[in-house]
Homo-oligomer: A and B are copies of this chain.
């Protein structure tokens, strides 16, 4: 099959861009929520969780495990863009009724970037939160998990759907580059600097707007530049890394 079929609407660039844009408010508001609490370093230290039966993990990693175990039972990880950090999670207790996504890959976890996302998120915390320790470890890690999930959804959704959409626009180019294993050339071909700059600028504006009602006496605000930089230096590059992984693992025989 060498013809280029018409793209289904969910693979149109405009649809994907609109969905990615719609995820931005969620990411920003989750980070604003986390910023209510201090950095609370002990919540991220292995062996200091105070959680009975869990000696090796940090409180953050324990919370993430429990959340993913629950989410797995509800079928979250049947959705392509919802990738878990942990393996060996419980099986879903409900059947997900997924429509055909248009994606052509056997194992969505080929694009799973959770380890890198979590590392980058933990680095981000010291720029989002006040330094120090307010004792609210439980609330902090609860909000961490929601923020990480929102960030990861954006990265994985972009990785999968942008890559498939671009493949369908230029199947010959991406088939050739993937066959050569030329990751750098794929990244170059995927990059649209002016689009990326526009996203980063929009994040800066949205972060300011979403905090415009905050009373600084009651809630800690985040410097909009911090989240804009996180988009530029982490979210956008990890999305492109995921697109490369998708294109390298896309099923060879399917071109439509």
Contact = CB atoms under 8 A, between A and B. Distances in A.
Interface of A: 18-19, 21-22, 25-26, 29, 32-33, 36, 49-54, 59, 63, 66-67, 70-71, 73-76, 93-97, 99, 135, 138, 141-142, 146, 205-206, 209-210, 212-215, 217-219
Contacts of A96: 138
A94 B137 CA distance: 11
B138 A76 contact: yes
Q: How many copies of this chain are found per oligomer?
A: 2
A241 to B, nearest CB: 25
Nearest to A53: B93
B214 A52 contact: no
A217 B17 CA distance: 11
A219 B22 CA distance: 6
A108 to B, nearest CB: 16
A95 B50 contact: yes
A150 B146 CA distance: 14
B215 A22 contact: yes
A167 to B, nearest CB: 23
A19 B25 CA distance: 23
Nearest to A95: B50
A215 B18 contact: yes
Contacts of A213: 25, 205-206, 209-210
Contact of A22 (B52, B71, B74, B218): B218
A70 B212 CA distance: 34
A94 B52 contact: yes
Given A93-B52, A146-B146, A66 B75 contact: no
Given A18-B217, A205-B213, 14 more contacts: A21-B215, A21-B218, A22-B36, A22-B215, A22-B219, A25-B32, A25-B214, A25-B219, A51-B94, A52-B93, A63-B74, A66-B73, A99-B135, A146-B146
29 contacts: A18-B218, A21-B218, A22-B36, A22-B215, A25-B29, A25-B32, A25-B214, A26-B33, A29-B210, A49-B94, A50-B94, A51-B74, A52-B93, A52-B94, A53-B93, A59-B94, A63-B74, A67-B70, A70-B70, A74-B138, A74-B141, A74-B142, A75-B138, A94-B138, A97-B135, A99-B135, A146-B146, A206-B213, A209-B212
Nearest to A153: B139
A228 B138 CA distance: 30
